[in-house]
Structure 1
Amino acid sequence: MELDPVIHAPTRLQIVSLLAAAEEAEFGFVRDTVGVSDSVLSKHGSALESAGYVAVRKGYVGKRPKTWFRLTERGRAAFAAYVENLQRIVAPSGLSVVPDERV
């Protein structure tokens, strides 16, 4: 079992995790939530887009240019597989990366 190297980078893991919980997220929101600069988010967003994991939409709100990110179906599947593989790796420790649903 192997962890997806595209997702495994800590910043990209944060981005994908954030997008997995949303339909779409605006660039500034992702930047501020993940705590990175514009250039770092652009770099990681491009890597995720190149892998087919993220779709990027550009548009305007009023006269201001905006960029939105959306996790693609391929990205959702890759993230689900990543979490599943990570769970298998940590299982022998008795710990879990998936919250206990009984709580």
Structure 2
Amino acid sequence: MKGTYDKAFENVIRLRIMSILMVNEQFDFNSFKEILEVTDGNLASHLRNLENSAYIRVEKSFAGRKPLTNYSATEEGKKAFQSHLEFLENLIKENKT
């Protein structure tokens, strides 16, 4: 079967985070929190998991005096996510027959 199953993406929140980062160059913490409708702690945990897997990059800065945390997908993360999606697509195709 083509593609590779990746446990990093088996959680729906992490799957959605990567989906957002595949179509956006970067995304900030508060925007993630709003669109995913999760708590700060829950979101931070999932983002840390993806960061520890080297699938996302974190950039901290300030907008005036307000801290701003932006996330972007790494090349490794994009490749791993594409492979995971390919695995899922093939799994669905196999089960249709």
Which of these residues, 9, 12, 17, is aligned with residue 10 of structure 1? 12
Matched with 1:52 is 54
Instruction: Write 1 or 2 for the structure with the bigger share of helix.
Output: 2
Q: TM-score of the superposition, structure 2-length normalised?
A: 0.91
What one-letter code is carried by the residue in structure 1 that aligns with 2:74? Answer: T
Q: 2:24 is paired with a residue of what secondary structure? A: coil
Structure 1 residue 93 displacement after superposition:
4.2
Q: How does 1:1-103 map to 2 (within 5 A)?
A: 2-94=4-96
The TM-score with structure 1 as length reference comes to: 0.86
Amino acid at match of 2:20: L
Segments of structure 1 that go 5 or more residues without pairing to the other structure are 95-103
Q: Which amino acid aligns with 1:83?
A: L
- Please give the per-residue CA displacement for 1:62-102, whole angstroms capped at 9, x wherever unaligned: 110010010000000011001100001000344xxxxxxxx
How many residues are treated as equivalent by the alignment? Answer: 94
Gap regions ≥5 residues in structure 2: none
Identity %: 30
CA RMSD of aligned residues (A): 1.2
Q: SS of the counterpart of 2:5? A: coil
Instruction: Supply the distance in 1 between the matched residues of 2:94 and 2:80 (Cα, whole angstroms).
Output: 23
Question: What amino acid is the match of 1:28?
Answer: N
